Structure 1
Amino acid sequence: MPAIYYHPEAYSIKGPKLMGRNAAGESFLRGFLKYSKSNEFWVQIEKSEHADDFRKKVLASARTEAVRTVNRSSLPALSKAGVLFYPGPDIGSQALHRNLHGSGLWSLCGITHTTSSQRAMDSIVHLITAPVQPWDALICTSQTVKNNVEHILQAQINYLRDRLGITKFIAPQLPIIPLGIHTTDFNFSKDDRGFSRKKLEIDNETLVVLYMGRLSFHAKAHPIAMYRALERATKKTKKKVVLIECGWHANISIEKIYKETSSKICPSVRIINLDGREANQRKIAWSSADIFCSLSDNIQETFGIVPIEAMAAGIPVVVSDWDGYKDTVRNGIDGFRSPTYMPQSGLGTDLAFRHSAGIDNYDMYCGLTCSLIAVDIEATANSFEQLFLSKNLRLKMGTAGRQRAQEVYEWKVIIEKYENLWEELDALRNKKSQKIKPMKFPWPARMDPFHAFASYPTHTISSNIFVDKVDQNIKSSLKTALELRNSKMVNFAEYVLPKEEEILLILNEIEKGSKSVKDIVENTPEKRKPYLIRSLGWLIKMGLLKVIN
């Protein structure tokens, strides 16, 4: 079973800047620890305290299996786990680290979150030149994001063909596995509903539409289409409607803009703001709602988990026909998907240029792009009207959505898909990795410094040069060597310094006079020979040995 690349930030919603990937990571880890069939847990960590944090989460999940840890200095141990799951798309960098030890030792599995940032796009492009293998995978959370990843990969392939004439390309698998949820988290009782509505001063005749998530018009979902559609539907049906915006604004200025805009565009709708970062506020929002709405129109969105949460709560949804919503929400069954419109290919090269040149930061890039993407307001208003006028339709769609959430998106189902994929990758690697020949330069940008800078010295310490002692007294030489070895000016390099017994071995080998490097290390275990040869450089540096020309 896999090793999890574990950094607490990637699996927590308690950080200062809560993003979708944090929520997805926390939910995944909770599901993995609850449903995984692993008989032990493996984690790759950067700091020892990260392993302690993971162990606490394992215990909190009532799992008693052992936790095995791997760090950068023990990467080959990942071969025992078989697969490394990395919580992002950058498995290319992980492949380079693996390549130093052998690309057939373990498989790599990443996952898409947003694919619109420079970092994410660079990570995807890198997959074409990085030493990834067919037994690696980048999980795409929706068909639309898979299409996007394929567009990026194909563009890089075309670029390399045009520039270098390259014809052979190896890419990872791109399986589609959606994000999951814990459906029981969204079971709310009639008492919950009554309590929440009373707290918000909402009567039983009022219809509550809920938006849940970050309140960001430039980077999440521009709200004007929702406001306009709600105003039209409210006026036409003459229903009392409340919109709950349960989320958070990046700053007070944005919060003010939301309030000013909504009051102008949908004055007929009462708007309540709740803090979506607080669990009790989210519970109040979910249990009060009759209809959920999310009109995502932003390229930073790749999946969108919140409509599935609404479905799990038995709430019909009105969403945009955009990105992952195309996969998750069945139009006319779980709710309605409103058509979206975007400029055709070729009309956004200036936006890409401005982003790449640093003229626009990522937020502005997303904001400029989404400003030209439209959600059909009339279709959205019609969807609201149907749901406002029919309690039976709301109940029917809510029931269908809840069943779909439980059968398709419950973490128990999703974790099984993950583990099946990991088993397939492991089996493919075991079957085909023997055909892979070691590369002379497994990571060209991280070469052996004694190779990369071979032209710098006058001579290199190779097997055919001869060395001799400077002080013919071995005891005196050893004493001096150990004193120098313990010097603060020297012992910072502890990792490369020869051990006391190795220093003595070298001195004894040349007791009777100079010897070639080859002869000095002849009786040394094969694994230690390279280290002993380079240790001669330190002994020469310290003035204990000299080269005989």
Structure 2
Amino acid sequence: MNMETAKQANAAIYFASEAYSTGGSRLMGRHAAGEGFLRAWVRHGGSDPLWCYAASRQEAEAFAALCSEWGRGDTPVRWLPFGALGGLSDPGTLFYPGPQVADMAWQRRRLGASAYSVVGVTHTISSHGAMDAVADMLLGPVEPWDALVCTSRAVVDSVRRLFAAEADYLKERLQAARIPQPTLALIPLGVDCAALTPDEEARRAWREKFGIGTEDIAFLFFGRLSYHAKANPLPMYLALEHAAQATGRRIHLIQAGWFANTTLEAEFRDSARSLCPAVNTIFLDGREPALRREIWHAADAFISLADNVQETFGLTPIEAMAAGLPSVVSDWDGYKDTVRDGIDGFRIPTIVPPAGLGADLAARHEDGLDNYDRYIGNASLFVAVDIEATKEACARLAADADLRRRMGAAARERALAVFDWPVVIRQYQELWGELAQRRAAAPASKPTLIARPRRADPFWLFANYPSSTIGADSTINATGLDLAERREMRMLNYAGALLPDDATCARALDWLRGKESATAAELLAQFEPAERPGLLRGLTWLAKLGVLRIG
């Protein structure tokens, strides 16, 4: 891997392979979004070098391999290991693939608040972990040059609600007069429109494979097949059965996704047979790469009636738009920002109970009575998608080829203008530039001794535990014991690189040899300033081994 340095780059990517891969068996929306973002950043960001903030060289090499696969093999990759925070001032921004901006800002406080910017992104915000991460932004050292990217207006509203409720509590509890609000940036997820260009040859091949005739109508659902965690299929099944009966057309429903277990699969298959017997239902494994790329071409229309709070943006509708498909989607969360009702397809009305009638659902989850899956599933049972409106929309699309063509063309045009990855990446770069300007205008900041009180130096936090603390005036005596004898013992050497190396120990012991005693300050004076803190700490380790005695 080429680890060359460059003068500028827009961002270092916080890289953990799992967050940017769609190759796992439990494929989630955040994986598809992460992989799509990273691929687009590598291809369209123009950064040189490509910065990678990762835990290990192995992870950095995986990052470099992806960059090469995506056409940037000649561009140097600069790896910054976890903890090498000083290096992040070169790219200027750390992009984190989640909402944990406050955690990253606490780490930055070791250097100073203006060292670089932190930018996170929302996926789901319905889990306890995500909600905590959002609320923690009001308590953590998050600055105006940091940001949380929200992928939809619905998510912006939810985040602001969390901020407001948390701020109210802080005012009540601490009489806080000023509670800074982090920067929220509205930037959608993106899609590779070129990869989804309508392809007649692929369309013919896929339709022939599944016995879909030229006059038949195929609707496509793409996503996790889960009635409690994604979308209950009942309104979709009823609407397509109605479309088949009303139009006399042969209707096919392709459901490309994956089931978490065989019980879910059986319930989907049984309910399809019961609720839409006139519809040919086709279940496919949406985790297969070739299918994920091409199944769009087999369809005449896309349908996704998401009804779950874990959804925030919804990537599949914009993939369908890029493929030139009209859509029938629920008027829910990020879908409101993507499909224009009556232009690119139809948005089906949804309705929920008023605020206050879900407090018991949240309490049951908080109390451990319901796990996360049960919590979001319980909430989804009280989200109603208008079945009659769904029936009407599906029947209209099934009956009218001109309507399908007009809406599909409008959808493709909108995807290219708004959601194509180069357009989205440009918005990220503009955000990073704005944050850099704010950071440059801020007063210089300095490192803080106790950067994060809840993650404090153990020798500060537990300072009253020992009898004493080694200092400049402490007396040091060599006992004459051979260091090598003790250093080889696993129970004394497991800290590895945190311990002083052999050369440093040898220099210290050689200097002490023959002296009745010396102070720590006298010993440290024999070493360069940069070496002294590590050696001072290491002296207590040598005392633990019995090689030194400290008085």
Same fold (TM over 0.5): yes
Deviation at 1:351, TM superposition (A): 0.3
Instruction: Give the aligned partner of residue 454 of structure 1.
Output: 463
Q: CA deviation at 1:352?
A: 0.2
Which residue pairs with 2:6 in the alignment? Answer: none
Is this contact kept in 2: 1:498–1:535, CA < 8 A?
no
* 1:496 CA displacement: 2.6
Taking structure 1 as reference, are residues 524 and 261 closer, same or farther at Cα in structure 2, changes over 3 Å only? same
Deviations 1:235-276 (A, max 9, x none): 333333222222222222212211221222222322222222
**TM-score, length-scaled by structure 1:** 0.92
d(CA) in 1 for partners of 2:200, 2:340: 27
Q: 1:536 aligns with which of 517, 536, 539?
A: 539
Distance in structure 2 (CA, Å) of the matches to 1:490 and 1:117:
42
Tell me the SS of whatever aligns to 1:62: helix
1:194-205 aligned at under 5 Å gives the runs 194-205=204-215
Select which of 520, 537, 540 maps to 1:517.
520
- Aligned to 2:346, what secondary structure does the other structure show? strand
Kindly report the root-mean-square deviation, in angstroms, between the aligned alpha carbons of the 2 structures: 2.2
Q: 1:157 to 1:437 in 2, by over 3 A?
A: farther
1:383-435 Cα offsets, whole Å, 9 max, x none, are 2232223221111111000001111111111111111212222222222151x
1:387 equivalenced with 2:389 (yes/no): no
Q: Identify the match of residue 492 of structure 2 among 464, 484, 490.
A: 490
Mean CA deviation greater in 281-290 or 62-71: 281-290
Larger Rg: 1
Corresponding letter in the other structure for 1:196: W
Letter in 2 for 1:34: R
Q: Which moved more, 1:370-379 or 1:185-194?
A: 185-194
What corresponds to 2:378 in structure 1? 368
Matched, 1:345 2:355: yes
Identity of aligned residues (%): 42
Instruction: Point out 4+ residue stretches in structure 1 off by more than 6 angstroms.
Output: none
Residue 227 of structure 1 corresponds to which residue in structure 2?
237
Residue 508 of structure 1 corresponds to 511
Deviation at 1:545, TM superposition (A): 4.3
Equivalent in 67, 76, 93 of residue 66 of structure 1: 76
Counterpart selection for 2:322 from 284, 302, 312: 312
Aligned counterpart, 1:139: 149
Q: Give 3-state SS (helix, strand or coil) of 1:258's partner.
A: helix
8 Å CA contact retained: 2:198, 2:324: no
Distance 1:26 1:469, change over 3 A: closer
| Counterpart amino acid of residue 318 in structure 1 | V
Q: Which residue of 1 aligns with 2:101?
A: 91
| AA matched with 2:425 | I
Gap change, CA 1:168 and 1:442, over 3 Å in 2: farther
Equivalent position of 1:474 in the other structure: none
In structure 1, C-alpha distance between the alignment counterparts of 2:459 and 2:205, rounded to whole Å:
72
1:77 aligns to what? Answer: 87
Q: Does 1:214 align with 2:216?
A: no
Distance 1:385 1:147 in 2: 34
Question: For the residues of structure 2 that align with 1:195 and 1:543, how far apart are their CA atoms?
Answer: 77
1:118 Cα deviation after fit: 1.6
> 1:274 touches 1:285 (CA, 8 Å); kept in 2?
no
Residue 203 of structure 1: CA displacement? 1.9
Is residue 110–residue 449 contact of structure 2 (8 Å, CA) maintained in 1? no
| Structure 2 gaps, min length 5 | 1-9
SS of equivalent to 2:235 = helix
Quote the residue 1:128 is aligned against.
Answer: 138
Offset of residue 10 of structure 1? 1.0
Instruction: Give, in whole Å, the separation in 2 of the partners of 1:433 and 1:240.
Output: 68
What secondary structure is seen at the aligned counterpart in 2 of 1:378?
A: helix
Contact 1:510–1:520 (8 Å) recurs in 2: no
- Once the two structures are superposed, what CA deviation does each residue of 1:336-379 show, in whole Å capped at 9, x if it has no partner? 11111011111001100111122111111111101000111122
The DSSP-based 3-state class of the residue aligned with 1:174 is: strand
Deviation at 1:187, TM superposition (A): 2.0
**SS at 1:4's partner residue?**
strand
1:170-319 aligned within 5 A: 170-282=180-292, 285-319=295-329
> SS of the residue aligned with 1:42?
strand
CA offsets 1:159-207 (integer angstroms, 9 cap, x no match): 2222222233234311011111111222233332222222222222222
CA–CA distance in 1 between the matches of 2:491 and 2:400? 81
Q: Is the 8 A contact 1:469 1:507 kept in 2?
A: no
**Partners of 1:244 and 1:99 in 2: CA distance:** 51
Distance 2:548 2:193 in 1: 71
TM-score (norm: length of structure 2): 0.92
Find the counterpart in structure 1 of residue 168 from structure 2: 158
C-alpha spacing 1:547/1:243, structure 2 compared with 1 (3 Å): closer
Conserved in 2, the CA contact under 8 Å of 1:95 and 1:132?
Answer: yes
1:526 matched residue in structure 2 = 529
Contact 2:325 2:408 in 1 (8 A): yes
Match of 1:31 among 26, 36, 40: 40
1:51 and 2:66 correspond:
no
Q: Matched residues in 2 for 1:154 and 1:72: separation?
A: 33
Distance 1:410 1:85 in 2: 20
User: Using the alignment, how far apart are the partners of 1:16 and 1:384 within structure 2?
Assistant: 32
Counterpart amino acid of residue 536 in structure 2: I
Q: Take 2:303 and 2:501, find their aligned partners in 1: how far apart are those partners? A: 67
Displacement after TM superposition at 1:79 (Å): 1.5
Shift of 1:515: 4.1
Greater shift, 228-237 or 360-369, is seen at: 228-237
Shift of 1:539: 4.2
Which residue number corresponds to residue 418 of structure 2? 408
